Amino acid sequence: MARHIFLLALLGSVLTASAINSITADWLLKHEFENFKSKFQVSYPTPEEEAYRFQIFKSTIERVAQQNKEHNTNVFGITKFADLTESEFRSTYLSSLPKKIDGPVHQSKTTSIPTSFDWRDKNVVTPVKNQGTCGNCWAHSTVESVESAWAIAGNTLTEFSVQQVTSCDTTDYGCRGGWPSSGFEYVESAGGLATAASYPYTDGTHYYFASACKSFTVAGGEVTGWAYATPSCTSSTCSNQDETSLLTNLLTQPISIAVDASQWSSYTSGVFPTSSCSSSGTSLDHAVQVVGFSGYGTSSGYYIVRNSWGTDWGVDGYIYLPIGSNACGIADVATLVYV
């Protein structure tokens, strides 16, 4: 991480200096591009494609250096998405979320909020998964929350099948988007979930296409309903969301959330700046899971958010979002499940 910060600062100064430094900048960029390919095991089918991706990589370096400068932070860096255009990233790894469905709001009986809390410490959170190029973040978030609620209810922590929900839920849209709330309703109607081992994630699930639903055996995860963790908002302005309710309900179980993740491609570590994303309910394009928080009551408090882009992104697959500013719309459409 320190190396990336130094490199971005160095490249930023070189790229904005006189033309005499262009040879130095090009050498640094090519060296870092080789490191990028090696680290993420990237290869290209033709020299022309590699040359094209190198130009995008250069643009990414310039962009993240500018982002860190603008926000006075070091959270942005070189990730596995560095050779994608912003448009490619959004169309491949994010998804449109359909119209929100109505539902009740869960009223937590908890009034006291500790400084920090993390469900991972309770052994009720399964390992971070990788959705690949399928826009089924909603199915990952659905299954993650069922897994956690199932374990909190006293059952063995079990990895359930994301593929089942992606392929068999006919209300949502497979690799083209959906909501955890309707995902919960599918699981309830199906009588529960198969294990991930018996119904594994397939290579056939990518881009806009999910493999066909197949027969499965329910192993657990029976759902009895769902509710919003705080009153929802899908309008263009969602600046007054009740994060206190979100936090108190988070003490009950991990929560599925929808966020604006359009600028997450270059996140590497630290607390993501609120000003880098939108809190608008019309900007939500990704479903994830919040599993805890740290520093509540301080100016540096943040939520611990689990993503589904693998452990080689962010902080071992997680991102930290600030508490108190509805960062990236974290409290716009937050749902919990009953098992």
Cα distances from 180 to residues 9, 262, 334, in angstroms, run 40, 19, 9
Whole-angstrom Cα distance, residue 268 to residue 76?
6
Active-site option among 168, 277, 286, 326 = 286
| Token pair recorded at residue 330 | 């974290």
Which of these is catalytic: 168, 307, 326, 328? 307
Residue 213: active-site member:
no
**DSSP H or E run through 67:** helix 47-71
- What is the C-alpha to C-alpha distance for residues 280 and 265, in angstroms, rounded to an integer? 19
d(CA 271, CA 214): 41
Element (H, E) at 49: helix 47-71
Give 182's DSSP letter. Answer: H
Q: Assess whether 286 carries a catalytic annotation.
A: yes
Q: How far apart are CA 135 and CA 93, in angstroms?
A: 6
Residue 82 in tokens: 């560095």
Phi, psi of 319 (to 5 degrees): -135, 150
Which one of 137, 175, 238, 328 is the catalytic residue? 137
* 140 counts as catalytic: no
Are 294 and 301 contacting, i.e. CB atoms less than 8 angstroms apart?
A: yes
Supply the residues annotated as catalytic. Answer: 137, 286, 307
